[in-house]
Chain A
Amino acid sequence: MPVSRFRRFVLAAALACGMLGAPVVAQDDVPVIAAASDLQFAVTEIAAAFTAETGMDLRLSFGSTGNFARQIRAGAPFEIFMAADEHFIADLHAEGLTKDSGDLYGMGRIVVMVPHGSALIPDEGLDNLAALLAAGGITRFAIANPDHAPYGMRAREALITRGIWDDLQPFMVLGENVSQAAQFALSGNAEGGMIAYALALAPEVAARGRFALIPAEWHDPLRQRMVLLHNAGPVAEAFYEYLQTPAARAIMTRYGFDLPEGE
């Protein structure tokens, strides 16, 4: 490459770099909400309603409750945390990372869900699952990771209660969070899985298969709690209040999140 052409190339490259702009994103005033994966559809809807009504923007991040708790401890800049299990909130509160002890926003339920065409038939007693398992007809069954996802923990408890946890172990596929578990369960590569009721009720998910509610007595309750984190700003506080309005509660109910009596 002749010398002068080389120099022109370098100048062009330098100009391109100039367009990169500062590495700082001017979005500090748009709060980030960390919400458990089962709230994927419910909170998206509520947030959209909030923005439509108030004109204020929100940024949503969905993932496993345990993962978020770890990230918050490591300094992640979330302003609201909506967990699938209130124990995580309590721990963070004890460490002084939250504004207060938070509020219960609903009781979660789990379901067994199967994709269309699966050999597995969903029934609330899991009888078909037990039978199919005994007959060797199960190749894969998906749940969220019990180590850090509340829905995974409850799925395990339910399966232990039903007495098929050990037998099902070799066929278990673990999702990072309950959304991924749902993804695995309905991908066609598994006979089915145990996922969040809230996800199964979403139109996008419901269309992919059939489900049955697992009896609530088979596992510890999923007391889902939300809290404002210590760095929450005015927009976050506004949204936190909005979540407790009848409009938001109606959406929550539609996704199966009932509040227990008296709370």
Chain B
Amino acid sequence: MLEVMARADGPIPLDVAFRVAPGQVLALVGPSGSGKTTILRVIAGLWHPSVARVAVGDEIWLDSAKAVKYPTYRRRVGMVFQNYALFPHMSAAQNVMAAMDRADPGEARRILDLVNLQGLADRKPAQLSGGQQQRVAVARALARRPQVLLLDEPFSAVDRATREKLYGEIIALRAHLAMPVVLVTHDMNEAQMLADQIVLIDKGRVLRQGSTAEVMSDPVALRAMGIRELATLLPATIVAHEDDGLTRLMTAGGPLFLPLVAADPGSAVRVRIMAHEVILSRARPEGLSAQNILPGVVVRIVAGQGPAVMVHIAIGGDEIVARITRRAADQMALAPGDPVHAILKTMSVARDHIAR
């Protein structure tokens, strides 16, 4: 269990506290300058605010009240820097071995295989692509056998296609991680896809923290982050890949058609459904272009300050959120318990909004 508390007045104001269980991923989300990287640096020991406490399991790494302060190199922390900070004069394997207590080339190669860098062990960072460098950085952090894994905007420097691939790999890697993971990102999609817990930060203050599902459907918090980010994750299973370039999936509410998904039939995925892309209808519509029509039941309606309301809809045992105008909700006279259909355009689901 990682416990973090940090308070400072300046130069960067901070006031945060959170806990992360082993194997859990916590995302620190906020705009640039909100202090999220600073918090990561506090955990790593690269910065010390006036009042702070960082504890990992039984070890207390930092406690300003008791004047306990472990230097960074004595903390078992694995840090993936935003620009990777790979040692330019060392090969990938040597970079990985640099983090080991005892340099073990065999183990280095094993870890590099784990992050899909087979055969590239002897290349220097300058000879690797951005995505490959990022994976070396992750491998190096893991080689430390860290008690906490810290990722500082690890995907911001790669292009979108690579990013999608890396999301998949990180999610697959999670099975091997028995430690708390703290991820810093400004990308809500990334946070929702990868994290169990989210802490929304702005100007060093916590706006909202809690499980991903809670935070991502909270309009008050999301207002600060951009209300268009409101979304839910709908679990689905891939049934088959059709001839016309679509993939058919099955959800708790019925079939779902999406543009070709790069996974085998039978795989379980989570689909991120943006609230503002969902159209509601009482009756099952006919003659519509939209392929995805999911029957559900209204759970609750949450009004915001603007012209919109959030309608939480149960699809089988899962829940999605639709964001429609209050006028529409009034016109339709929606109320909790009403059966309703959620309509979603196939083309509105982006490729990086689907993950395992």
Q: Given the complex of chains A and B, what is the CA–CA distance between A1 and B89 in angstroms?
A: 6
- Which residues 1-41 of A have a CB within 8 angstroms of B? 1-3
Note all chain A residues with C-beta closer than 8 A to B89: 1-3
Residue of B nearest to A1 (CB): B89
Query: Taking the complex as formed, is B94 at the interface, i.e. its CB lies under 8 A from any CB of chain A?
Result: yes
Contact with B along A66-89 (1 / 0, CB 8 A): 000000000000000000000000
Contacts of A2 in B (CB 8 A): 89
Contact of B121 with A by CB under 8 A = no
The answer to whether B1 has its CB under 8 Å from any CB of chain A is: no
B90 within 8 A of A: yes
State A3–B90 Cα separation when bound (angstroms). Answer: 8
Q: Chain B interface secondary structure, helix, strand, loop or mixed? A: loop
Whole-angstrom CA separation of A2 from B90 in the bound complex? 7
Which residue of chain B is the closest to A2 with respect to CB atoms? B89
Chain A, Cβ-Cβ closest to B91: A2
A2 to B94 Cα, complex, angstroms: 10
How distant is the Cα of A1 from the Cα of B90 in the complex, in angstroms?
A: 9
CB neighbours (8 Å) of B90 from chain A are 3
Q: A1 to chain B: which residues have CB within 8 Å? A: 89
1/0 contact string of A139-163 vs chain B (CB within 8 Å): 0000000000000000000000000
CA–CA, A3 to B103, complex, Å?
A: 14
Q: How near does chain B come to A9, taking the closest CB pair, in angstroms? A: 13
What size tier do the contact residues of chain A reach?
under 10
B94 nearest CB neighbor, chain A only? A3
Q: Mark B96-138, 1 if CB is under 8 A from A, else 0.
A: 0000000000000000000000000000000000000000000
A148 to B94, CA, bound (A): 68
Separation of A2 and B93 alpha carbons in the complex (Å): 13
Shortest distance in angstroms between A8's beta carbon and chain B's nearest beta carbon? 15
Within 8 A of A (CB), among B128-176: none
Give residues 70-120 of A contacting B (CB, 8 Å).
none
Report the Cα distance A2→B87, complex, angstroms: 11
Cα distance, A3 to B89, chains bound together (Å) = 8
Question: Complex formed: what's the CA distance from A138 to B94 in Å?
Answer: 76
Q: Which residues of A contact B94 (CB under 8 A)?
A: 3
- Nearest Cβ distance between residue A1 and chain B, in whole angstroms? 7
A198 CA to B134 CA, complexed, in Å: 82
- Bound-state CA distance A212–B94 (Å) is 82
A5 to chain B, nearest CB (A): 10
Interfacial chain B residues near A3, Cβ < 8 Å:
89-90, 94
Q: State how many angstroms separate the Cβ of B121 from the closest Cβ of chain A.
A: 15
Q: How far is the CB of B215 from chain A (nearest CB, A)?
A: 46
A252 to B90, CA, bound (A): 73
Closest to B87 in A: A3
Residues of B52-106 whose CB lies within 8 A of A: 89-90, 94
CA distance A1 to B124 in the complex (A): 12
* Nearest CB in chain B: distance from A178 CB, A: 60
CA gap between A43 and B89 in the complex, in Å: 62
Cα(A1)–Cα(B94), bound, Å: 13
CA–CA, A2 and B89, complex, Å: 6
Write the nearest CB–CB distance from A79 to chain B, whole angstroms.
57
CB distance from A2 to the nearest CB of B (A): 7
CB distance from B93 to the nearest CB of A (A): 12
Min CB gap B193→A, angstroms:
39
Chain B residue at minimal CB-CB distance from A6: B89
Distance to closest chain A CB from B124 (angstroms) = 9
Chain A nearest Cβ from B146, distance in angstroms: 24
Q: Give the shortest distance, in Å, between B61 (CB) and chain A (any CB).
A: 30
Distance (whole angstroms) from the CB of A261 to the closest CB of chain B: 83
Q: Mark B273-284, 1 if CB is under 8 A from A, else 0.
A: 000000000000
In the complex, A3 Cα to B87 Cα: how many Å? Answer: 11
Smallest beta-carbon distance A150→chain B, Å: 65
For residue A166, give the distance in angstroms from its CB to the closest CB of chain B: 71
A165–B94 CA distance with the chains assembled, in angstroms:
79
**Nearest chain-A residue to B98 (Cβ)?**
A3
Chain A min CB distance to B125 (Å): 13
Expressed in whole angstroms, the minimum distance between the Cβ of B122 and any Cβ of chain A is: 11
State how many angstroms separate the Cβ of B88 from the closest Cβ of chain A: 11
Q: How far is the CB of A60 from chain B (nearest CB, A)?
A: 54
A123 to chain B, nearest CB (A): 77
A3 to chain B, nearest CB (A): 7
Closest A residue, CB atoms, query B124? A2
Closest beta carbon of chain A to B140's beta carbon, Å: 16
User: Bound state CA distance, A101 and B115, in angstroms?
Assistant: 91
- Complex formed: what's the CA distance from A232 to B157 in Å? 78
CA gap between A3 and B94 in the complex, in Å: 10
How distant is the Cα of A199 from the Cα of B89 in the complex, in angstroms?
64
Give B105 Cβ to nearest chain A Cβ, in Å.
14
CA distance A46 to B57 in the complex (A): 89
Min CB distance B11 to A, Å, is 37
Closest chain B CB from A6 CB (angstroms): 9
Considering the chains assembled together, what is the distance between the CA atoms of A236 and B52 in angstroms? 77
Once the chains are docked, how many angstroms separate the CA of A235 from the CA of B306?
109
Q: B41 to chain A: closest CB distance in Å?
A: 28
What is the bound-complex CA distance between A2 and B124, given in angstroms?
Answer: 10
How many angstroms from the CA of A243 to the CA of B89 in the assembled complex? 68
Give, as a whole number of angstroms, the nearest-CB distance from A81 to chain B.
60
The 5 A-B pairs at the shortest CB distance, nearest first, are namely A1-B89, A2-B89, A3-B89, A3-B90, A3-B94
5 A-B residue pairs with CB within 8 Å: A1-B89, A2-B89, A3-B89, A3-B90, A3-B94
